[in-house]
Amino acid sequence: MPSSSTVIIFVATAVVLAASISNVAYGLTAQHVIDSPLLTEKIGTNRTIKVDINGKGDFTSVQAAIDSVPVGNSQWIIIHVRKGVYREKVHIPENKPYIFLRGNGKGRSHIMWNKCSADNLESATLRVEASNFIAFGISFKNEADIGSPFTSTNQSVAALVGADKVAFYHCGFYSAHNTLFDYKGRHYYDNCYIQGTIDFIFGRGQSIFHSCEIFVVGDKRVEIHGSITAQNKQTAEEDSGFVFVKGKVYGIGGVYLGRARGAYSRVIFANTYLSKTIVPEGWTNWSYNGTTEDLFHAEYDCHGPGSATEGRAPWSRQLTEKEVAPFMSIDFISGREWLPVY
Q: Under a CB-based contact definition with an 8 Å cutoff, are residues 175 and 195 in contact?
A: yes
163-211 confidence digits (pLDDT tens): 999 999 999 999 988 899 999 999 999 999 999 988 899 999 999 999 9
What pLDDT was estimated at residue 167?
98
Q: Kindly write down the DSSP assignment for every residue of 22-88, as one continuous string.
A: HHHHHT---SS---HHHHHHHHT---EEEE-TTS-SSBS-HHHHHHTSPTT--S-EEEEE-SEEEES
pLDDT at 228 over 50: yes
- Predicted confidence band of residue 9 (pLDDT cuts 50, 70, 90): very low
Give the mean model confidence (pLDDT) for residues 51-64: 98
Under 8 Å between Cβ of 232 and 290? no
Kindly state the average pLDDT of the residues 145-162.
74
Q: Is 199 a catalytic residue?
A: yes
Check residues 221 and 34 and name the one with the higher pLDDT: 34
What domains lie within the chain, and their CATH numbers?
Answer: 34-167 (2.160.20.10), 197-341 (2.160.20.10)
Rounded Cα distance, 77 and 108, in Å: 21
For residue 34, name the pLDDT band (cuts at 50, 70, 90): confident
pLDDT at 25: 40
- Distance spanning both ends of the chain, measured CA to CA: 44
Tell whether the model's pLDDT for residue 134 goes beyond 50. Answer: yes
The active-site residue, picked from 164, 182, 199, 219, is 199
Task: Give the predicted TM-score (pTM) of the model.
Answer: 0.89
What is the predicted pLDDT for the residue at 4? 43
The residue among 321, 231, 214 whose CA lies nearest residue 278 is 214
